[in-house]
Amino acid sequence: MLNIVLFGPPGAGKGTQSENLIRKYGLVHLSTGDIFRANIKGQTELGILAKSFMDKGELVPDHVTISMLEQEVHKHSNPEGFIFDGFPRTSAQANALDAFLAKKHTTVHAMLALEVSEEELRERLLNRAKTSGRADDANVEVIQKRIDVYNRETAPVASYYKNQNKYHRIDGLGDITVISERLFDAVNTAVTQS
């Protein structure tokens, strides 16, 4: 199996680049943001709860997010691997992910961290709001809150993977296909090392 964590602040390009990684490596895409949005659309109990946090730019509580992700992981009995997009976002989530994967006798092979300046993120998110229909992209205060939450709660998760020699910093600025090539190079390096 090949398991990749795609990491980076909101607007770094995780969704776009996930598509290219899936195409290249045949992985199962698990985006916690997408799963929450599907639940909001379906008006499930989980969706109603998640929405109350997402609308404010806050993280959905760990116990809710972790149990939802665990169920998704176990839905796939024999996958080529997973790409985790937008998860883990806290240290507790990173620990939980290792535990789920250990149950499947596997692990995270690489953490790919897309780096983009805050100014560029703000611009990209406001631009995305024109087509995404996402309320959390359209409001400058919510955008800033998401960036602040990322810096405070999520950015430290990089150390967790640095300590395991799984961290790969990727310049997230430039042409989409050029960024994809950077990601593929990092995956290939990780696969050779593991």
Task: List residues near ligand AMP by CB under 6 A.
Answer: 10, 32-33, 36, 53-54, 57-60, 65, 86-87, 89, 93, 136, 146
Helix axes 14-25, 176-193, angle to 10 degrees: 60
Active site residues: 14, 89, 128, 134, 146
Least separation, in Å, of the C-beta of 138 and ligand AMP?
A: 13
Burial call 31-56: b when 16+ CB within 10 Å, e when fewer: bbbebbbebbeeeeebbebbbeebee
Nearer to ligand AMP, 50 or 183 (CB): 50
The residue whose two tokens read 């310049």 is 171
Residue nearest to ligand AMP (CB): 33
Nearer to ligand AMP, 59 or 113 (CB): 59
Min dist. Cβ of residue 136 to ligand AMP (A): 6
**Smallest distance from ligand AMP to CB 87, Å:** 4
Burial annotation 145-160 (CB, 10 A radius, 16+ → b, else e):
bbbebbeeebeebbeb
Of the candidates 2, 4, 7, 3, the residue with the CA atom closest to the CA atom of residue 159 = 7
Burial label for 193, CB within 10 Å (0-12, 13-18, 19+), is exposed
Sorted by sequence, the CB contacts under 8 Å of residue 178 that are 6+ apart come out as none
CB-wise, 123 or 185, nearer to ligand AMP?
123
Name which of 86 and 172 has its Cβ closer to ligand AMP.
Answer: 86
As measured in angstroms, the least distance from the Cβ of 84 to ligand AMP is: 9
